[in-house]
Amino acid sequence: MIATQLPSDRVVHLAQTLPAAPRVLAQLNQLLLDMGAGLGDMGVLLRRDALLASRIIRVVNSPAFRGSGVSSVEQALHRVGFSEVYRLVGIATISQLSESPLTAYGYTPRLVSENALLCALAGESLARRGGAEPRFAYSAGLLRSLGKVILDRAAPEVPGPDFRESGNLSLATWEEARFGVTSTETGARVLAHLGFPDAVVAGVAGQSVDRGHAVLHPLSCIVSLAVFIAQEHGRGLTGECVEESPSRETLACARINLRDLQEISDEVYTTFVAFRTALS
């Protein structure tokens, strides 16, 4: 039985209870598209939220960024440089979003954050190899589970068993049965509300391998492959439908072949191991 769908206004309200980081990340993306913007403009944006600014400083002082002694957002930005700003803020964002477990899903903060980071890094590399926009793919991989965060926040007011008590249901089937909507649909709606580019929204909305006859978007196929890579390295999220081997359709859509996929998987995991220290 499918539950009554969680109302759109309730989803928006729950999105407003999130930390400021996802909204700031969307605004940072817009700044990076502005050829006239500089590190000073980015510093002004990132200082608007004290908690995020503090997290950025902590991340840049981690071994992942070979940092120490950084005490301000401005110093952090000059330490990493223009090209690494988005990655830095992305790591701070997911670190902030995954401070608490997703109780209804049975996911620990560490699993959620590591899955997000690995999917973001994989998406970025896959997009670069396949000719898509790396920053958009990084965003989609990083925030692909934002809908799970929203639905987990809704869970106390929605009756029904938690995922681990739902028997053999797939994650999407359980979400529809309890909330009347999937986390991918919810996440895409929230990302659109926050102002992320349409390609990022499409990448999150179409990431499931069970797409039926939907028209494939290159970024959704890239996210699907990133999820496959995360699963391959033991950072998959229980219950998600992941192909045992990516289909030719998905690979062609992402403009990736199997050899590329394996090379990227190995390279990205090495990068992930270096960067995951920034999540703690």
How far apart are the C-alpha atoms of 96 and 51, rounded to whole Å?
9
Average pLDDT, the chain: 90
- Asked whether residue 28 is assigned to any structural domain, the reply reads yes
Please, how many CA atoms are within 13 Å of residue 49, restricted to the half-sphere of its CB?
Answer: 19
Residue-level pLDDT at 224: 94
Inter-CA distances, 22 with 85, 86, 110, 226, 255, Å: 15, 12, 19, 20, 28
Q: What is the pLDDT of residue 213?
A: 42
2: in domain: no
CB 57 within 8 A of CB 115: no
CATH number at residue 221: 1.10.3210.10
Residue 83 lies in a domain: yes
pLDDT at 83 over 80: no
Q: Tally the domains of the chain.
A: 1
Q: Is residue 1 part of a domain?
A: no
| pLDDT average, residue stretch 240-244 | 82
Per-residue pLDDT reduced to its tens digit, 151-184:
999 999 999 999 999 888 899 999 999 999 999 9
Domain of residue 62, residue span: 8-279
Instruction: Name the band, by pLDDT with cuts 50, 70 and 90, for residue 106.
Output: very high
Q: Is residue 3 part of a domain?
A: no
pLDDT bin (cut points 50, 70, 90) of residue 3 is low
Q: Is residue 129 part of a domain?
A: yes
- Does the residue 140 lie in any domain? yes
- Give the chain's length: 280
For the cut 60, the answer to whether the pLDDT of residue 2 exceeds it is no
Is 59 a member of any domain?
yes
Does the structure show a pLDDT above 60 at 112?
yes
Q: How confident is the model at residue 210 (pLDDT cuts 50, 70, 90)?
A: low
Identify the pLDDT of residue 209: 60
CA distances to 207, 217, 254 from 224, in Å: 5, 11, 9
